[in-house]
Chain A
């Protein structure tokens, strides 16, 4: 397989000035000196991206992923090293970046297409496609400054994809427009993939990378951490870089003057012990240390799980008699056991509380006191992993024999019963 983009020993140094003199006057006044700290945005980056591959680059803000993309696009010049790009290239760093607000949509299509490297005759040929793709037939002669932001990005995307480059660089712009337009964009990306074009996607959204990419690279502090298949790359990204994968308990003191206080809360998954993250479908145990000054009969233990966007994923039934317990003087350990957690990727926080079953009094509530993290080795996306069987049969009743399932049964999970279709 041929290499589409060859990145060799690329380093890029930025200068961080404590005080920047952007005029001759200031330079003269300060004697031409401008103290700066060198900052290496990229350091000895080496990677080969193959032709026809969809390649993801993952990393936190400021890890150098956008700088690398800009270097590949030729917008920034590397301090040292060399990048070779095979075939034509178009970069979508920002949709509609070259738009002139005062010009009409029509003029901007020509200008933007030309900026992306398309000859005028070629733009004229594709003009109708671009307008149709952007769904802007009625507004194409209006000035772009009167466009809504949705119309603006739609036009930007329409121009960029119609340039039909051999190599397409995308910087987190795939999520634009309404759902219908998003689907259209994704269809176009899929079409690009089928046509054997090379796509490089930069993102910190793991879903985008998992869904679209064949390989992914993780970057941190301007260096390449790993290049691997997306599932593994995302796991490394989440675990090593975001530091959210540890299932360490956190300490928190009880409320003073209260009879009962929750101490240390810990979450532990049922998978192999050394792994900081859990896989979907594994069991989870949450233990909460409870100190009690007095005997508390009829205590109710409750638990809630929130995702990283602070949306409630699960909260236990506060009146479930199974959650009732008598806590003696001195307290003890409350244990919550989830035999199977079907959650997909993400960091989830756990809140634990103890309240009275008979009164409304809450003895103690520890909000989002500990976390656990799920890394999904498969390629399904979303919040929850639902078991699914796919089968196929012919519509006509003439056939007697049932056609066996041809669709893959979506990777069964450990501990799940496989149900026959």
Chain B
């Protein structure tokens, strides 16, 4: 009874698949493949596993959408009801009641909410996804991170629908986006997805052990929302801070919110303006940075997000080992 099994795992990296705790029957692999189950978290293997199971991610996302929206046009239209209402409420409050003078304020709101909706829907949904899918988690072995990522996938589909609505709105109002900045948007979207994915994976695992994480997430996300320049402008914050030169660091702390540079990039590209004039006075809504500065900021967010994503995978791997007994 001695074949390659008797050799230590690391001596034969080509044929040994060591996954921290999750054995996978990996599609299309030879029969010589050896899967190792032990208590360790192996990041490289986890990433490889995610890649090998991208089909499954697609299926999980699809089935989630099917269950939610019944695969019908009306179903998806229904899914837009919530973002549309939110947009309407903020518009009414800030434009009509608070007498905001910003032209095309609805487009400004839409640009920011687009980003926020993706982030918020995914983070909220992912928090409860592992607990909600306990049946699968307890009985089937697969990379469970995919559950959290499938929620991000669903949010991404809703994002795409909103983008279509936004493009229609831009055409309707005759607003020209700033195409120099539109070029940065794909990178900004990737950064957003990676950051959202990291947070989703982390929250989904923590919620198994601390079930009130969902409620905490809800409150924290609300605070986070108001700490991000979506319903107000970044220009407003920096303008106020300019009055107190000693408080310039607050601006940098404010920019440390990874969602802020992404939101600002979307606003810069879609809203297209950095300032407007009202009653002879100039109002700055966004900093006068060039595309490279925006790209640089988004690049930093992306780099940090990738780091956070890997960290989230490690944390998830640690916590995953006892999912089956905790659920």
Chain A residues, Cβ within 8 Å of B140: 75, 91, 93, 97-98, 115-116
* A71 adjacent to chain B (CB < 8 Å): yes
Distance of A87 from chain B, by nearest CB (Å): 4
* B222 adjacent to chain A (CB < 8 Å): no
* B243 adjacent to chain A (CB < 8 Å): no
In contact, B39 and A120 (Cβ under 8 angstroms): no
Q: Of the 9-residue stretches A100-108, A296-304, A348-356, which lies at the interface with chain B?
A: A100-108
B213-230 CB contact bits vs A (8 Å, 1 = yes)? 100100000000000000
In contact, A86 and B1 (Cβ under 8 angstroms): no
Chain A residue, CB-CB nearest to B212: A23
In contact, B35 and A84 (Cβ under 8 angstroms): yes
In contact, A77 and B37 (Cβ under 8 angstroms): yes
In contact, B5 and A84 (Cβ under 8 angstroms): yes
Chain B residues, Cβ within 8 Å of A3: 1, 3, 5
Distance of A90 from chain B, by nearest CB (Å): 6
In contact, B26 and A88 (Cβ under 8 angstroms): yes
* B163 adjacent to chain A (CB < 8 Å): no
In contact, B325 and A14 (Cβ under 8 angstroms): yes
Total count of chain B residues near the partner, CB < 8 A: 50
Question: Are A78 and B59 also in contact (CB < 8 A) when A89-B25, A98-B139, A115-B136 are?
Answer: no
Interface size class of chain A, counting residues whose CB lies under 8 Å from the partner chain: 35 or more
Distance of B250 from chain A, by nearest CB (Å): 29
In contact, B324 and A25 (Cβ under 8 angstroms): no
Chain A residues, Cβ within 8 Å of B324: 70, 75-76
Out of A77, A111, A118, name the residue touching B21 (CB < 8 Å): A77
Docked CA distance A166–B324 (Å): 24
Chain B residue, CB-CB nearest to A110: B59
Docked CA distance A28–B188 (Å): 38
A43-87 CB contact bits vs B (8 Å, 1 = yes)? 000001010000000000000000000111111111111111111
Distance of B319 from chain A, by nearest CB (Å): 10
In contact, B37 and A115 (Cβ under 8 angstroms): no
Docked CA distance A182–B248 (Å): 75
Docked CA distance A157–B20 (Å): 28
Chain B residues, Cβ within 8 Å of A84: 5, 9, 34-37
Distance of A172 from chain B, by nearest CB (Å): 13
In contact, B27 and A118 (Cβ under 8 angstroms): yes
* B99 adjacent to chain A (CB < 8 Å): no
Out of A22, A88, A110, name the residue touching B25 (CB < 8 Å): A88
Interface residues of B (CB under 8 A from A): 1, 3, 5, 9, 19-29, 31-39, 53, 55-56, 59-60, 63, 66-67, 135-136, 138-142, 209-213, 216, 320-322, 324-325
A-B contact pairs, 19 of them (CB 8 A): A2-B5, A14-B325, A22-B209, A24-B213, A24-B216, A50-B1, A74-B24, A75-B324, A77-B37, A77-B322, A80-B39, A85-B34, A85-B36, A90-B25, A91-B141, A111-B60, A114-B56, A117-B24, A117-B27
Closest 7 CB pairs of A and B: A74-B23, A77-B321, A97-B139, A77-B21, A88-B25, A117-B25, A23-B212
Interface residues of A (CB under 8 A from B): 1-3, 6, 14, 22-25, 27, 48, 50, 70-91, 93-94, 97-98, 100, 102-103, 107, 110-111, 114-120, 122, 163, 165-166
